[in-house]
Structure formats: C-alpha cells, structure tokens
C-alpha cells in the first residue's frame, strides 16, 4: 500500500527532526505535522492519516495531528500562452480546454511544519521512540514551531 509506505517514511523523518532538537534533559513530543502533497502524488489524505496514526502509536508522534494539503497542479498552456492551474481532475487547459498543457511537478511532497512540545517531567534515557531514530543533538528551534 502506497500510503502505508509513505506514512512510515514520514514518521521516520518527523521523529528524526524532533530528535535533533532534544537535549539531555528534554524530550519532545510531536503534536502536529503539516504536509503538502502534489496533485499527482496519488496519496489519499484520509488513508494516509489512518496509516500514520497506527504507525505513530507508542512513538513520540503518537496522537499528533497530521494535516495534509494538496497543492494544485500548474503548468504552461502554449495555446493560451500563459501559466494555468488545473481544475479538479481534468488535465486539459481550464481556459481553452486544450490538451497540450505542459504540467509541472505534481509528484512532490513536502513537510511544511512540525510542531513539538516537551514531554512533561521527562528525564534522559527515557526514550521510547522506535529503534531507528537517532537521538542527535543539534541547535534548537530551527525549522520547528515552539
Ligand atoms: Zn489554454
């Protein structure tokens, strides 16, 4: 299943990112993740969320809120001579209905935000995140909402 494989990669990245911001006395819990997906990524948001919820159980991202935003597809229509945006599931030009639009991208997926909050009363060595997450030390705050 496409979504399950993607949810698993997503979880790994999110836990890794959160881990970078942890220090000896600080354990972080992931509370929110914002994801932007291209129109052609074929990811079904509801399925993805369900898979992610299951996989995140027992990790620092358990009960986090995953928000998935689909980015509309854009491309260049040679007939109209301008940039157009795809409407709905149609791949013809929304202005002239021509079928020769050169669509750009659409397969990209981007994590736009990860929200973390410290675990209350956490102590070092209490890690319960899955084995594959490195607990790397790094500068705090970079790219993460407080
Ligand atoms: Zn056109």
Contact (CB, 8 A) for 52 and 131: no
- Write down the pLDDT at residue 88: 67
**Separation of 47 CA from ligand 1 center, angstroms?**
34
- Write down the pLDDT at residue 124: 52
CA–CA dist 36, 69 (Å, integer): 5
Neighbours of ion ligand 1 (CB under 5 A): 77, 79-80, 93, 95-96, 98
pLDDT more than 90, % of the chain: 57
**Which residues constitute the domain of residue 45?**
2-71+106-118
Asked, for residue 86, whether it belongs to a domain, the answer is no
Q: What is the pLDDT of residues 37-91, one digit of tens each?
A: 988 888 889 999 999 999 999 999 999 999 999 888 899 999 999 999 987 667 8
Asked, for residue 96, whether it belongs to a domain, the answer is no
**Separation of 95 CA from ligand 1 center, angstroms?**
5
Residue 129 burial by Cβ neighbours in a 10 Å radius (0-12, 13-18, 19+) = buried
CA–CA dist 4, 95 (Å, integer): 37
CA–CA dist 137, 29 (Å, integer): 16
CATH assignment of the domain containing 112: 3.30.2320.50
Is the pLDDT assigned to residue 138 strictly greater than 50? no
Q: What is the pLDDT of residues 13-25, one digit of tens each?
A: 999 999 999 988 8
CA–CA dist 77, 21 (Å, integer): 45
Average pLDDT, the chain: 83
């Amino acid at each position: 299943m496409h979504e399950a494989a993607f949810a698993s990669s997503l979880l790994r990245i999110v836990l890794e990112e959160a881990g970078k911001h942890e220090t000896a006395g600080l354990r972080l819990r992931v509370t929110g993740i914002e994801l932007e997906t291209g129109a052609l990524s074929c990811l079904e948001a509801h399925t993805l969320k369900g898979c992610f919820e299951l996989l995140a159980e027992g990790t620092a991202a358990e009960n986090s809120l995953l928000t998935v935003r689909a980015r509309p597809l854009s491309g260049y229509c040679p007939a109209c001579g301008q940039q157009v945006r795809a409407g709905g599931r149609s791949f013809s030009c929304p202005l002239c209905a021509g079928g020769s639009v050169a669509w750009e991208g659409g397969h990209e997926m981007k994590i736009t935000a990860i929200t973390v909050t410290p675990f209350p009363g956490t102590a070092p060595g209490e890690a319960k995140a899955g084995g594959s997450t490195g607990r790397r030390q790094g500068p705090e705050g970079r790219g993460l909402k407080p």
